[in-house]
Structure 1
Amino acid sequence: MKIKQFEDRYLSHYSYAILSECEKKIVLIDPSRNPEQYYEFAREEQAQITGVIETHSHADFVSSHLEIHQATGAQIYASKHMQPVFPFTPFDDGDIIEIGHIKLKSLNTPGHSNDSISIVLEHNGTDKAVFTGDTLFIGDIGRPDLRETQQNAAALREELAEKMYYSLRDKLMTLHEEVTVYPAHGAGTLCGKSLSSSKSSTIGNEKIGNWALQPMTPGQFISELTSNQPFIPAYFPFDVQTNIKGAPSFEESVSHVRISETQPDEITRETWIVDTRAEDTFKQGHLPHSVNIMEGEKFETWLGTIIRPDESFYLAAGSSDQLVRMIRRSASIGYESLIKGAFVINEADEQNPVLDLDHFKAHKDDYTIIDVRNRSEVEEKKLFENSISIPLPDLRNRINEIPTSKPIVIHCAGGYRSAAASSLIASETGSPAPVYDLGEAVKQFT
């Protein structure tokens, strides 16, 4: 038996291949959008992919389960509660997949979502591992509200939180303490709030160190789980629906994006340009109606937060190689379908003003200061007494709240979010007031 863990560090996502070495068969769990790494593993092991298990309908990335089924004939397994459109085999409490000496046993563990399952791996008659999806993380658990947009979302979150309480105690905590825990996400995901950077754990260690597995009443658990959760990006409900239907082929879909070495003539101010170049390059020259979402660790998250899934956009980069990378990264959340065109920027006339840092330090009251950090960051420490807090995820909906009678200075915690926010505000306000990005200089005030 062999367990291979794959990591998408940009989305803090873990997927898995379980290999029966005696039968040369592989079952995948929660594959990411590009299936090539799983095909490569199968070739290396001279094995056949015979199954794909989805632990739930994912909100934060697009899965390749349908493409793998179509390419290899592998059966897709998921809970009946997912109600998927694609062909699948229900995989719920009591259902078992057998490959060689391995048994994969389904546990219904609702809480993150109603269709969440965990998979216990039994080898030679002994439970060895559990793949917990977004139910049990290392040091934390999955949040219960990623797909709920209805008016009664708060009530639904509490209902799911109560289900999570019992899923953990009645299902996962009953496993042997030596069983290895393999989650679908690690530190950095928005699917929880305080995940460890460890990539695996054990049931015993989680009973000791995970807050959610400590003795408490259901009410205490629900209150803690539903409080102070991170924001929900705009693309999450879109990805849930994409995964329930099944996404098109990765390579085929990205190949449909039109790439140009020059700026397309048909660009209008009604369509956003997502400029992925470095902040200083963007400020020296960019196109109108551009938002600077730089190539970085969290590009996908901010792309899917700022650009809504019912919009289209142009993708711009500094080179052809960068353009290809960013198209493929956009596809990991299903956004390649929204790209009207992709092009390399050679010349652009729009420029951002440079902040006189000494003047700002001496005369902060002469500026409107916008803090685009998350609410929890502001509550922990406000950096400027007279700043206005508008978290970046809320910015497009609250742009009219920004006073334009004075020069505007934007800050976050390190410069990445403020680069996106300042470009967004400069494009949207239409005000003659200059918009400055404090950028990395914010560290001088922390």
Structure 2
Amino acid sequence: MPLPSSSTPAVQIQQFYDKGLAHASYAVRAGRQMAVIDPGRDPQPYYDFADEHDAEIVAVIETHPHADFVSSHLEIARETDATIYCSKLVGASYPHKSFDDGDRLKLGTVELHAINTPGHSPDSISVLLLDEAAQTRAVFTGDTLFVGDVGRPDLREDQAAGGHAREALAAQLYQSTRQKLMALPGTTKVYPAHGPGSLCGKTTSPDLDSTIAKELATNYALQPMSEQEFIKVLLEDQPFMPKYFGHDVQLNKRGAPNFEDSVRSVPRLSSGTVPEPGVLLIDTRPAAKFRAGHLPGAINLMDGGKFETWLGSVVGPNEKFYLLADTQIQLDAVIRKAAKIGYEGNIKGALLAPTTLPATSPDADVAEAHEHPEHFTVVDIRNRTEAEKPLFKDALLIPLPELRERVGEIPTDKPVLVHCAGGYRSAAGASIIQNALPEVPVYDLSEAVSEFPGSS
């Protein structure tokens, strides 16, 4: 979704925002030349913007190999003959030019300068925009600096992602912010790669851009503190890490296949197709429809604003699965969302809901849950930071991303009542538990959770 642009007589900055992934990417246009920074999987919005302004895409800049989405940098470069720029520390296997401290790129009458800002990842860069008078006007900070936050430093610890200790990266981030970004002129506009809800940080600000002066005044991570204090504060209460993050880092280091070609290659099956036993079936229909009838063994992961994030949190990057929806339009939408995190190749088949859906799920007795919660084994599938104040006494906390692996911990002597914060995740959680414990009644508290004291 393109957002209003910022421009001077010499340059135009256009932000594109994907709310589902809380991802911001940018087009920087100077005259008839254009650079794209941190593009999402679908390159079409950048092509459309270039066409609209009769501009040529000459550069694609990656601030780092992203963990939470797949970038179209390689596809754009192949389509437009643009050059890809990234840090030499990435170890990228696609054709590119190194873009590190001291490197600069001429774009019309302005320049883009690279500065190494490691910390979120060891290979992170930020990109300075200098005007014709060599004055710093903006900085594209990738996942190093957000509005009101900084990027998390714990996503590269797995050996597949480099084996970098979070404490060491947090120390680098302290130096990057203090020595590089905080030294910029206060009027410098800040354009980050993520907004509120991103799992690449603890970001809460609804603003999608800022200035260095504003961040110095309001960003907790930029306040005076020692390096050790910074590391401690930064590592506290980081959100969970979806299963797909390490996979996407590696995919972005290689460069992903073309988006539309990949989407078209997903097998479309007739609605009467019987899914292969043992392969996950992701039913994306609303929870009420799922409870009324579904295919045996299905997981109810509803299509919604964060579908791709939860898909990549419940399903591992090496697992095959089927996708099911009510209409062809809805099915195409969830296929495209799966492709945004590089999961389109995992889809064994996509199908419409068949007429006969033999399995059902019982509706929760909300009144009994109010009056006699002790009659249930209550499973809270919220994240740990959300569940610091339990809604039910003695609830068993198993966050949704861990549920498939830990479902065996749930006692089977009482009916199971599943809740989250608003009803979306509990539909998935209840279906996972129902499949694993078929001998026990499993109830989804769903949206009725809002009726209980302490719910938000």
What's the TM-score bracket when you normalise by the shorter of the two chains? over 0.9
**Distance in structure 2 (CA, Å) of the matches to 1:304 and 1:246:** 19
Contact 1:128 1:178 in 2 (8 A): yes
Aligned counterpart, 2:142: 133
| Match among 323, 329, 338 for residue 337 of structure 2 | 329
Instruction: For residue 268 of structure 1, report the CA deviation from its aligned partner.
Output: 2.7
**Which deviations, in whole Å up to 9, do the C-alpha atoms of 1:170-195 show, x marking residues without a partner?**
00011000000000000010001133
Aligned mates of 2:307, 2:146 — CA distance in 1: 23
- Distance in 2 (CA, whole Å) between partners of 1:405 and 1:154 is 42
Aligned to 1:26: 34
* 1:193 and 2:202 matched: yes
Identify which of 285, 300, 306 aligns with 1:292.
300
Structure 1 residue 435 corresponds to structure 2 residue 442: yes
Distance in 1 (CA, whole Å) between partners of 2:160 and 2:193 is 29
1:205-259 CA-partner distances (Å, limit 9, x unpaired): 0000001110000000000111110000000000001100000000000000111
Q: Residue 374 of structure 1 corresponds to which residue in structure 2?
A: 383
Partner of 1:351: 360
Query: What's 2:20 paired with?
Result: 10
Distance in 2 separating the partners of 1:230 and 1:442: 22
1:260 equivalenced with 2:269 (yes/no): yes
Match of 2:175 among 161, 166, 170: 166
TM-score (norm 2): 0.95
Q: Name structure 1 gaps, 5 residues minimum.
A: none
Q: Do 1:271 and 1:289's aligned partners in 2 also have CA atoms closer than 8 Å?
A: no
Q: Which residue of 2 aligns with 1:250?
A: 259
Letter in 2 for 1:113: S
1:385 equivalent in structure 2: 393
Q: Structure 2 CA distance, aligned partners of 1:106 and 1:356?
A: 59
State the one-letter code of the partner of 1:340.
K
For 2:283, the equivalent position in structure 1 comes to 275
Partners of 1:417 and 1:336 lie apart in 2 by 22
- Output one character per residue of 1:80-135: Cα deviation in whole Å (capped at 9) or x when no partner: 00001101100000000001111100000000000000000001121100000000
CA positional deviation for 1:269: 3.1
Determine the C-alpha separation between the residues in 2 that align with 1:271 and 1:29.
37
> 1:254, 1:309 → 2: CA distance?
17
Residue by residue over 1:310-341, the C-alpha shift from the partner in whole angstroms, topping out at 9 and shown as x without a partner, is: 10000000111100111011100011110000
The residue number in structure 1 matching 2:110 is 102
CA distance in 2, matches of 1:121, 1:343: 47
Alignment check: 8 A CA contact 1:269 1:289 kept: no
Indicate if the aligned counterparts of 2:158 and 2:164 stay in contact, CA closer than 8 A: no
Question: Does 1:406 pair with 2:414?
Answer: yes
> Secondary structure, in 3 states, of the residue corresponding to 1:384?
coil
1:340-394 deviation digits (Å, cap 9, x = unpaired)? 0000003311100112222222221111000001111111x21001211111111
Q: Secondary structure at the match of 1:260?
A: coil
Aligned to 1:341: 349
**Are 1:148 and 2:153 matched, yes or no?**
no
Equivalent-residue separation in structure 2 for 1:242 and 1:250 (angstroms): 13
What's the RMSD between the two structures over aligned residues? 1.4
Aligned-partner residue type, residue 243 of structure 2 = A
Find the partner of 2:222 among 210, 213, 219: 213
User: CA 1:66–1:155 in 2, change beyond 3 Å: closer, same or farther?
Assistant: closer
Distance change >3 Å, CA 103–CA 153, structure 1 → 2 = closer
Counting matched residue pairs gives 441
Amino acid at match of 1:46: D
Structure 2 gaps, min length 5: 1-10
Scaled by the length of structure 1, the TM-score of the pair is 0.97
Shift of 1:149: 1.8
Cα 1:88–1:196, aligned 2, differ >3 Å: closer, same or farther? same
Q: 1:247 to 1:154 in 2, by over 3 A?
A: closer
Instruction: Write the distance in 2 (CA, Å) between the matches of 1:388 and 1:153.
Output: 34
Return the alpha-carbon distance in structure 2 between the equivalents of residues 324 and 150 of structure 1.
34
Q: 1:151, CA displacement in angstroms?
A: 11
Q: Residue 396 in 1 paired to residue 404 in 2? A: yes
Q: Secondary structure at the match of 1:67?
A: helix
1:182 equivalent in alignment to 2:191: yes
8 Å Cα contact 1:137/1:195 also seen in 2: no
Question: Does the 8 Å contact 1:261/1:320 carry over to 2?
Answer: no
Structure 1: how far apart are the matches of 2:164 and 2:325?
A: 43
Of residues 390, 404, 423 in structure 2, which corresponds to 1:415?
A: 423
2:187, 2:237 → 1: CA distance? 32
Match of 2:240, as an amino acid?
F
In 1, Cα distance between the equivalents of 2:365 and 2:214?
Answer: 52
**Distance in 2 between residues matched to 1:253 and 1:76, nearest whole Å:** 21
CA displacement 1:386-406 (0-9 Å, x = unmatched): 211111111111111001111
Cα distance, 1:154 vs. partner?
9.7
| 2-structure distance, mates of 1:88, 1:154 | 24
Pairing partner for 2:130 from 111, 115, 122 = 122
Please tell me whether the aligned partners of residues 160 and 250 of structure 2 are also in contact (alpha carbons under 8 angstroms).
no
